Amino acid sequence: MKPIKETKEIILTVSLLILLSFNNTSNIPVIKDTSAQQRPAIYGDYIVWFEEQGREYEYRPDIFIFGPYIYVYDLSTREKFLIAEVAYSVKILIYGDIIVWDDSRNGPWNSDIYGYNLSTQEKFQITTDPEDQRSPAIYENTVVWSDERNGNSDIYGYNLSTREEFQITTDPKDQHSPAIYGDIVVWTDERKGWYETDIYGYNLSTQEEFQITTDSKKQEDPAIYGDIVVWTDERNGYGNFDIYGYNLSTQEEFQITTDSKKQEDPAIYGDIVVWQDFRNLNWDIYGFNLNTKEESQITADWSLQQDPAIFENIVIWVDCSHFSSMQQCFQFKKYAPINTKNTEEKEPSGFDTDSSNKAVNSIKGITLNMCIS
């Protein structure tokens, strides 16, 4: 088969919006570059993401295609740098100096978990089993992921300090999409069926498994910070996904969103939960303060913003830029530029502002001042 050339010209915009309140923001672009980005994550001053660039791909039966690159952006130095070239990947995360991702370089059905140390600039392989290991999560020295070595999807873990691997779940049904904070690992569990998934947890210290949700509808894609677990929940009607939460200390469940449209893909840091929201018939980013019980809209553009991530007072997401119509945006990916209310865009000198540049998608963000206690 002949090589396929990727010829689209695209432009990255990593932006920070200084948010004194949810309704009073200013848009300050940080960097622009030719690229297409997806699946951003953030920790400290570092933003990481998968990036696709125009180049030739050679399809061969014995070699799986190497696709995205992994780039890092340092908010303190405003420097962008490449750390790895990877095959098809699902997820990337960062904690401290360690970046983890799943990588299909060893074959399309043999994804493994890899890592990179920003301090030592060393890449390392975590899993070597010939079956799929995907969707890693990391907290301090512990990495967890979904693992199909047993003929179903289980949750496994690895201690970066001791270099010991361990199995967390043993149920014959699928467990996937793990998240971790401290000694607590949470995941989506299909032991009652794929249409009736629940959120389960495991305490690494006590080695005890526990069930968090019991509703007969879908609960999936958990995130965790401290004692609070949040997830996407379909109990209020087919296709009506809401964001729910659970306090591990008080063992109390609570509803965060009530709109009849979809709210999905929550992320949490401190008292702030963020998610992608379809209530305006396009994907926007919304947030909720668990302390004040205040919900606020973060983006208000006509098109799509998705895949939010949060660290301290910074929220980032994937954003489609420079498209003139929803149809054009859908043709490329599914993202669009932000145009928040009461904003004034300020362009630092030395940046490319050529409106003729076209973007597949970009990464943008906000700084939340006085919103997180």
Percent of the chain with pLDDT over 90: 63
The model's pTM is: 0.81
Asked if residue 178 lies in contact with residue 138, where contact means CB atoms within 8 angstroms, the answer is: no
For residue 372, name the pLDDT band (cuts at 50, 70, 90): very low
For residue 303, name the pLDDT band (cuts at 50, 70, 90): confident
pLDDT score recorded for residue 368: 63
Strand partners, 156: 145, 167
Gap between the Cα atoms of 349 and 288, Å rounded: 34
Residue 325 CB neighbours (<10 A): 11
Gap between the Cα atoms of 138 and 360, Å rounded: 29
Gap between the Cα atoms of 356 and 140, Å rounded: 43
pLDDT score recorded for residue 331: 32
pLDDT score recorded for residue 300: 87
Give the pLDDT mean for 183-189.
98
pLDDT score recorded for residue 220: 98
pLDDT score recorded for residue 325: 43
Gap between the Cα atoms of 15 and 24, Å rounded: 16
Gap between the Cα atoms of 48 and 92, Å rounded: 8
pLDDT score recorded for residue 52: 76
Expressed in angstroms, the distance from the first to the final Cα of the chain is 57
For residue 361, name the pLDDT band (cuts at 50, 70, 90): low
Give the range among 144-148, 232-236, 286-290, 327-331 with minimum mean pLDDT. Answer: 327-331
pLDDT score recorded for residue 105: 87
pLDDT score recorded for residue 367: 66
For residue 30, name the pLDDT band (cuts at 50, 70, 90): very low
Residue 140 CB neighbours (<10 A): 14
Phi-psi region of 181 (alpha: psi -120 to 50; beta: other; left: phi over 0): beta
pLDDT score recorded for residue 337: 25
pLDDT score recorded for residue 53: 65
pLDDT score recorded for residue 65: 41
User: What are 194-201's contacts with CB under 8 Å, separation 24+?
Assistant: 199/229, 199/231, 199/246, 200/169, 200/175, 201/229, 201/248
Give the pLDDT mean for 14-28.
36
pLDDT score recorded for residue 318: 87
Which stretches does DSSP call E strand in 56-129?
A: 56-57, 66-74, 79-87, 92-95, 98-103, 112-117, 122-125
Give the pLDDT mean for 131-135.
95
pLDDT score recorded for residue 304: 83
Q: Which tokens go with 306?
A: 């998705």
Q: What does the pLDDT look like over 81-108, one tens digit per residue?
A: 999 988 878 899 999 999 999 998 888 7
Does pLDDT of 320 surpass 80?
Answer: no
Contacts of 338 (CB under 8 A, 6+ apart): 15, 17, 27, 299, 300, 301, 305, 319, 364
Q: Which of 157, 163, 162, 165 is nearest to 183 (CA)?
A: 157
Does pLDDT of 324 surpass 90?
Answer: no
Does pLDDT of 12 surpass 60?
Answer: no
For residue 234, name the pLDDT band (cuts at 50, 70, 90): very high
Q: What does the pLDDT look like over 245-301, one tens digit per residue?
A: 999 999 999 999 999 999 999 999 999 999 999 999 999 999 999 999 999 999 988
Mean pLDDT of the chain: 79
Does pLDDT of 73 surpass 90?
Answer: yes
pLDDT score recorded for residue 267: 98
Asked if residue 158 lies in contact with residue 164, where contact means CB atoms within 8 angstroms, the answer is: yes
Does pLDDT of 210 surpass 60?
Answer: yes
